[in-house]
Amino acid sequence: MLKTAQTVSPLSVAEPLSARAARAAEVAAAHANAVDADSRFPQEALDALKVEKLLGIMVPAALGGEEASVAEVVDVCYALGRACSSTGMIYAMHQVKAACVAYHGMESAWQRDFLGRMAADQLLLASSTTEGKGGGNVRSSEAPVEHTGGRIVLVRDASVISYGAQADAVVTTARREASSDASDQVLVVFEKKNYALEKTGSWDTLGMRGTCSAGFSLKAVGSPEQILPVPYGTIHSQTMVPTSHLMWAGNWAGIAAGAVERAKKFMRKASRAGALPPGVPHFTQALANLRSLRALIAATLSRYEAIAQDPKALSAIDFQIAINLLKVDASELAVQTVMNAMRATGLSGYRNDSDVSIGRSLRDILSSPIMINNDRILSSLTNSTILSDIPSSIRD
């Protein structure tokens, strides 16, 4: 019988991440259909993630965390994505912001204290990087940080804040000050007690319904120490882009794996009945695509980990092209994989009331090419790709 978040017993964080992630994924899977059908936040899955102490794993050990690597987080995203797409994406978005604070906030006493509380209290972090007319251009901010009486004030028209109503804190971009250029940005951490949200848009979508990515007007007040000491441009290239594209890709690969798993179940049933269905070639292609997708993510992870402590290498044109193309390639390949799984299962996978239904996976994975639109990424890379070298050998 599946455990609920309430019946999972507390544990020592010395237990492997994989075992804890598997238990959280089991809870997420039990409620995934209801989360999708009702377009609601996966509260049961979040409760399980907190019980398993998985929200603060990127916090440095000295502050009470586990100092988990990006690769370890990607594995958790993969496990959650196989169970519930929305839970996996929420977890990935949370950990991207955790990485930004952990990697760039350690010089600030306020940020260190926040990280410690994030690990101890299992705080959920939301992201606010899009606003107003700028839409998905995260390297441009309209709203500035205002300094008044030793405090900071931010009033922001956030076009999207995923799970904003459920988060314990929001990590947001903003113009450094009113006189700054739109690209001169900072990253600020506001806890729930610091801000008020007014809903300005709904979230009635084809898929990823449980992320509850509505629009909000954000009004926040805090102290200057809540601004990360590193410019957002640096955070963006060295941490935000690499971790988001790797962690998102991990979730998308998990969604694809779940679809392939159901297609395999369908194939085995058909085989026992004595006749393989006409969709067998699509199943083979789905397996091949999933293999390619996992290899692509693993190779990019290895490359990232090799230079993770080298700011110059992280900001280099060649790596920035590679990490942005990972997002494009992984999302497109994940869509192909799920579509192959759907075609392998035929009507059984097309039905919503089937035990091998692929419908939810397909609707959810279709969000991946438009989450920071692939066309926007490819257009932005034009000048960089012209300047990049063509490899002279297979291993270059």
Res. 20 pLDDT band, cuts 50 70 90: very high
Per-residue model confidence (pLDDT) at position 29: 98
274 — pLDDT class (breaks 50, 70, 90): confident
pLDDT of residue 4: 37
Residue 394 pLDDT greater than 60, yes or no: yes
pLDDT of residue 136: 72
pLDDT band at 133 (very low <50, low <70, confident <90, very high): low
Q: How many other β-carbons are positioned within 10 Å of the β-carbon of residue 154?
A: 26
Sign of the alpha-carbon dihedral angle for 170, 175, 176, 178: negative
Residue 388 has pLDDT above 90, yes or no: no
pLDDT of 2:
33
- What is the model's pLDDT at position 11? 43
Q: Report CA-CA distances (Å) from 303 to 98, 100, 201, 252, 319.
A: 21, 19, 39, 20, 9
Task: Identify the H or E element spanning 159.
Answer: strand 151-162
Specify the residue for token string 């995260």. Answer: 138
pLDDT tier at 3, thresholds 50, 70, 90: very low
What confidence tier does 1 reach under pLDDT thresholds 50, 70, 90?
A: very low
pLDDT at 395 over 90: no
Q: Residue 384, by phi and psi: left (phi above 0), alpha (psi -120 to 50) or beta?
A: alpha
Question: What are the tens digits of pLDDT across the range 97-128?
Answer: 999 999 999 999 999 999 999 999 999 999 99
Report the percentage of the chain scoring pLDDT > 90.
90
CB 207 within 8 A of CB 368: no
Confidence of residue 135 (pLDDT cuts 50, 70, 90): low
CA distance 65 to 105: 15
User: Rounded to whole angstroms, how far apart are CA atoms 289 and 286?
Assistant: 5
- Token readout for 126 is 């939301």
pLDDT averaged over every residue in the chain? 94
How confident is the model over 311-329, as pLDDT tens digits?
999 999 999 999 999 999 9
Query: For 170-203, what is each residue's pLDDT tens digit?
Result: 999 999 999 999 999 999 999 999 999 999 999 9
H-type alpha helices, 317-358 = 317-345, 347-350
Q: pLDDT tens digit string along 214-227?
A: 999 999 999 999 99
H-only helix segments in 174-240: 232-235
Cβ pair 388, 321 in contact under 8 A: yes
Alpha-carbon distance 315 to 238, whole Å?
A: 6
Angstrom distance (rounded) from CA 329 to CA 286: 15
Distance from first CA to last CA of the chain, Å, rounded? 50
| pLDDT for residue 155 | 98
Euclidean distance between CA atoms 360 and 84, whole angstroms: 9
SS3 196: strand
Alpha carbon 344 to chain centroid, angstroms: 28
For the cut 80, the answer to whether the pLDDT of residue 49 exceeds it is: yes
Q: Which residues contact 38 (CB under 8 A, 6 or more apart)?
A: none
